[in-house]
Chain A
Amino acid sequence: MNTVPQSVADLAADNRRLAWQLALGALLMVGFGYLLVPIYRVFCEYTGFNGTTARIDLGRAATQGIDRSRWVTVEFAANTSADLPWDFRPEVASLRVHPGEMVVAQYEARNRSRREIIGQAVPSVTPGQAAAHFRKIECFCFSRQPLAPGQTLKLPVQFQVDTGLPPGIATLTLSYTFFELPGGRITAAGIRHEVPS
């Protein structure tokens, strides 16, 4: 098992070969570090981990029956990032809905600064187990929202709570946080600039 090289040159060549193989391994691990990004994204979408919500088109949403025997309370939360001079709030604090029902809720945003600002809302649903069963059909968070100085905008979200929602869950919270997109720069670079679903 102990390979004895025949000469100094052989040993040096063996050493170099092994060293390069190991260096290649290290390089591949840098790649693996970056690969964790899409892996994480897919994992979150699949499991609803971290409040990542699902997106569904209208046609598919309509095919689901409505479970009229069950009520689920959906609470609405609104936040803005610290440096965004917007007022942002839901029109109602909560709604009682049936699983499978298509519901529209309204938010409202007002730009209280003197400049035009493009905002991007990032959604999150708690509890985490419910996130995968919360489906948005249409949402203001699917696109960027430009607001002129002083402008107020109604922001609708059409959603459906999946009938497969685990039975223990009676209340879930839909939360949006608005972030400023600095001059839309975010869309020009970066690998995850697409609008979160």
Chain B
Amino acid sequence: MTEIALPQHHEHEHPSGITRWLFTTNHKDIGTLYLLFAVSMLFIGGSFAMVVRLELFQPGLQFVSPHFFNQMTTMHALVMIFGAVMPAFVGLANWMIPMMIGAPDMALPRLNNWSFWLLPFAFTLLLSTLFMPGGAPSGGWTMYPPLVLQTGMAFPFLIFAVHLMGISSVMGAINVITTVFNMRAPGMTYHKLPLFVWTWVVTAFLLIAAMPVLAGAVTMLLTDKYFGTSFFNAAGGGDPVMFQHVFWFFGHPEVYIMILPAFGIVSQIVPTFARKPLFGYTSMIYAVASIAFLSFIVWAHHMFTVGMPLAGELFFMYSTVLIAVPTGVKVFNWVATMWRGSMSFETPMLWALCFIILFSIGGFSGLMLGLAPADFQYQDTYFVVAHFHYVLVTGAVFAIIAGVYFWLPKWTGRMYDERLGKLHFWLSTISVNLLFFPQHFLGLAGMPRRIPDYAVQYAEWNMLSSIGAFLFGASQLIFVYVVVRAMSGHGEKATDQVWEGARGLEWTLSSPPPYHSFNEPPKVP
């Protein structure tokens, strides 16, 4: 073992009460803060979705005005993407990366504190718009001009909230890269890094490359509205279509920012419960890197119907479909990992397996959408809604839930209630398919998205979808109960290794791990 002096902390030093959380620079505390923030946003964003599904329960206008409906769809997307999914992944990264690579903490602990504490301010700005004259932003989360420029007082709040979220996630990304590059324990070479760490490194580079482009695009919107510039104003020589190009140049990498860490989580869980090492470790890393590269050259597949030369349609179609190759590599590797494994089906494994199946369904509908000629029919229908909810809810969110069940005993030192975990899983899986699968049919039948009313022939599937939504929303209360129970020290004591098949440095620590772990760099096997 190399003798190096790392910062020595003592466990009794940290302050207690609220200041512990305000001033904390501890990666475990900050990870917890991120995860608690994410789950509260999950419920706020989820309640917006409930309003949407309530209004769509029957044809006609029942409960809310069309304007408020539009606010709900817009805010649901913004809150879920920037408030729930992204912070949840950063929270998992904070908790797990230092423990997985044998580092005492994140490389830049104070920056870490700052990147978390920007988020409550960002979302206070964003959510406060609900109470403003003119209401919250309602032009869709994609913020296309000229429509978004009609937003009232909420507009600058939206822009500055996006700026803050962007700064927060870029700082989080810088921290992850610096930690992984500089803080690995001696012997923890790049080819020994757990896949969750690898996927997060790639995600961090995507964040650094993509989020600033979004910041630029929304700043152009801001100056167009208030300072007389004409980036997107046709009268001044600008072009509204250009916004769509700049936005999706950010937007497509963004969707991989939200799925790559999920791949990482599943790649940790599947080998654990198949009791076999991950099949094709190296190919997994190259697959993630190729997906990241491809994500920057496919953006206009969101815009096939906007109009572009035939060569453009073909280029974006082929490059889009090409993404199926590295994604397929990953899916087949997971399957091969399980092949002849000694499998057991604890709750985290159930979620991870369900992720593989349902994410693949979302991937296949993505392939359908990626075909330019077919996309002219699917564009802006519920088929698109079904597609991205399969990859984001049964993809990203399911993987996050799987990760929480997987690591919760490590974090809290208590096993969650397996019976409740399974109940949560089965209720969620059945209801989420009831919620989103019929939306494929609605979309293929031509029901447009983002509209509070619909023709009567869509009534049955919409009602089923809404019932699924209410069940899915309610099922998540079980999750909260399970987590709170473990956090408050109830349940069976967890062992250090927690899972029989668990391998890696994080499982050599006690459960719960000491406040400061790996002050002495561990020996890497």
- Residue B228 interfacial (CB < 8 Å): yes
- Residue A5 interfacial (CB < 8 Å): yes
- Residue A180 interfacial (CB < 8 Å): yes
Of B232-240, B467-475, B480-488, which binds chain A? B232-240
Assess the A190–B236 pair: CB atoms within 8 A. yes
**How many chain B residues touch A (Cβ–Cβ < 8 Å)?**
58
Whole-angstrom distance from the CB of B441 to the nearest CB of chain A? 34
User: Chain B residues with Cβ under 8 A from A31's Cβ?
Assistant: 216
User: Chain A residues with Cβ under 8 A from B228's Cβ?
Assistant: 185-186, 188-190
Tell me how many residue pairs across A and B have CB atoms closer than 8 Å.
152
User: Chain A residues with Cβ under 8 A from B5's Cβ?
Assistant: 7-8
Whole-angstrom distance from the CB of B180 to the nearest CB of chain A? 10
Of A11-19, A57-65, A104-112, which binds chain B? A11-19
Residue on B with the closest CB to A44? B239
User: Chain A residues with Cβ under 8 A from B4's Cβ?
Assistant: 4-7, 11
Checking B208, B217, B223, B242 against A22 with a beta-carbon cut-off of 8 angstroms, the contacting residue is: B208
Q: How far is the CA of A177 from the CA of B240 in the complex (A)?
A: 14
Assess the B239–A181 pair: CB atoms within 8 A. no
Of B41-49, B130-138, B170-178, B357-365, which binds chain A? B170-178
Chain A 162-197, CB-CB to B under 8 Å as 1, else 0, gives 000000000000000101110001101111111110
Using known A-B contacts A1-B189, A122-B234, A188-B228, determine if residue A15 contacts B108 with beta carbons closer than 8 Å: yes
User: Chain A residues with Cβ under 8 A from B501's Cβ?
Assistant: none
- Residue B493 interfacial (CB < 8 Å): no
Residue on B with the closest CB to A195? B237
Residue on A with the closest CB to B177? A22
Q: Provide the main secondary structure of the chain A interface.
A: helix
- Residue B213 interfacial (CB < 8 Å): yes
Residue on A with the closest CB to B107? A15
Using known A-B contacts A5-B4, A26-B212, determine if residue A192 contacts B231 with beta carbons closer than 8 Å: yes
Assess the B309–A129 pair: CB atoms within 8 A. yes
Assess the B213–A19 pair: CB atoms within 8 A. no
Q: How far is the CA of A5 from the CA of B220 in the complex (A)?
A: 43
Using known A-B contacts A33-B212, A37-B231, determine if residue A4 contacts B186 with beta carbons closer than 8 Å: yes
User: Chain B residues with Cβ under 8 A from A120's Cβ?
Assistant: 235-236
User: Chain B residues with Cβ under 8 A from A32's Cβ?
Assistant: 212-213, 216
Assess the A29–B307 pair: CB atoms within 8 A. no
Q: How far is the CA of A2 from the CA of B175 in the complex (A)?
A: 18
- Residue A159 interfacial (CB < 8 Å): no
Checking B6, B229, B236, B307 against A50 with a beta-carbon cut-off of 8 angstroms, the contacting residue is: B307
- Residue A92 interfacial (CB < 8 Å): no
Chain B 176-200, CB-CB to A under 8 Å as 1, else 0, gives 0110011110111110000000000
Chain A 97-139, CB-CB to B under 8 Å as 1, else 0, gives 0000000000000000000000010100000110000000000
User: Chain B residues with Cβ under 8 A from A129's Cβ?
Assistant: 309-310
Q: How far is the CA of A31 from the CA of B250 in the complex (A)?
A: 14
Assess the A193–B212 pair: CB atoms within 8 A. no
The B136-174 residues at the A interface (CB cut-off 8 A) are 170, 173-174
User: Chain A residues with Cβ under 8 A from B354's Cβ?
Assistant: none
User: Chain B residues with Cβ under 8 A from A30's Cβ?
Assistant: 212-213, 215-216
- Residue B333 interfacial (CB < 8 Å): no
User: Chain B residues with Cβ under 8 A from A16's Cβ?
Assistant: 108
Using known A-B contacts A29-B208, A129-B309, A186-B228, determine if residue A11 contacts B182 with beta carbons closer than 8 Å: yes
Assess the B189–A36 pair: CB atoms within 8 A. no
Q: How far is the CA of A47 from the CA of B170 in the complex (A)?
A: 35
Q: How far is the CA of A44 from the CA of B209 in the complex (A)?
A: 24
- Residue A86 interfacial (CB < 8 Å): no
Q: How far is the CA of A11 from the CA of B109 in the complex (A)?
A: 13
User: Chain B residues with Cβ under 8 A from A50's Cβ?
Assistant: 239, 241, 307
Assess the B239–A186 pair: CB atoms within 8 A. no
Assess the A18–B178 pair: CB atoms within 8 A. yes
Whole-angstrom distance from the CB of B395 to the nearest CB of chain A? 26
Checking A15, A29, A192, A196 against B178 with a beta-carbon cut-off of 8 angstroms, the contacting residue is: A15
Assess the A186–B236 pair: CB atoms within 8 A. yes
The A24-64 residues at the B interface (CB cut-off 8 A) are 25-34, 36-37, 40, 44, 47, 49-50
Whole-angstrom distance from the CB of B334 to the nearest CB of chain A? 28
Checking A1, A2, A33 against B217 with a beta-carbon cut-off of 8 angstroms, the contacting residue is: A33
Q: How far is the CA of A60 from the CA of B229 in the complex (A)?
A: 34
Assess the B174–A19 pair: CB atoms within 8 A. yes
User: Chain B residues with Cβ under 8 A from A93's Cβ?
Assistant: none
- Residue A73 interfacial (CB < 8 Å): no
- Residue A81 interfacial (CB < 8 Å): yes
User: Chain B residues with Cβ under 8 A from A49's Cβ?
Assistant: 308-309, 312
Assess the A192–B238 pair: CB atoms within 8 A. yes
Chain B 2-32, CB-CB to A under 8 Å as 1, else 0, gives 1011110000000000000000000000000
Pairs A–B under 8 Å by Cβ, sample size 29: A1-B190, A2-B186, A11-B182, A15-B178, A22-B177, A22-B178, A22-B208, A25-B208, A25-B209, A27-B212, A29-B211, A32-B212, A33-B214, A33-B215, A33-B246, A33-B249, A36-B246, A37-B231, A44-B239, A179-B234, A180-B235, A186-B233, A186-B236, A189-B227, A190-B227, A190-B228, A190-B236, A191-B231, A192-B231
Q: Across chains A and B, which 10 residue pairs bring their CB atoms closest together, nearest first?
A: A33-B216, A179-B235, A29-B212, A190-B229, A33-B213, A189-B228, A30-B212, A15-B107, A186-B236, A22-B174
Given contacts A22-B174, A33-B217, A128-B309, 14 further A-B contacts (CB under 8 A): A4-B2, A8-B5, A11-B4, A11-B183, A22-B173, A26-B174, A32-B216, A33-B215, A36-B246, A37-B220, A122-B234, A185-B228, A186-B230, A191-B230
